[in-house]
Amino acid sequence: MSNILITYDITSHHSEVKRIMIEEHGCLDYFVHKETAWKLPNTTLWKAGSNAVELRENLKSAAAKAGTEVKSVLCLPVAFPKGMWAVFGSSEPASESQKVIYEFRLLAEFLKG
76 or 57, which is more confident: 57
pTM above 0.85, yes or no: no
Task: Give CA 10 to chain center in angstroms.
Answer: 16
Check whether 107 has a pLDDT greater than 70.
Answer: no
Predicted pLDDT at 65: 98
Predicted pLDDT at 99: 32
Predicted pLDDT at 30: 87
pLDDT in tens, 10-53: 999 999 999 999 999 999 998 876 777 788 889 999 998 888 99
Contact between residue 25 and residue 54 where contact means Cβ atoms under 8 Å apart = no
Sign of the CA dihedral 14, 100, 90, 2? positive
Predicted pLDDT at 81: 53
CA-nearest of 46, 19, 16 to 31 is 46
The Cα 7–Cα 15 span in angstroms is: 14
CATH class as words, domain 2-112: alpha beta
Q: 19: alpha, beta or left, given left = phi > 0 and alpha = psi -120 to 50? A: alpha
The Cα 14–Cα 80 span in angstroms is: 27
pLDDT in tens, 71-101: 999 998 886 554 444 444 444 443 333 333 3
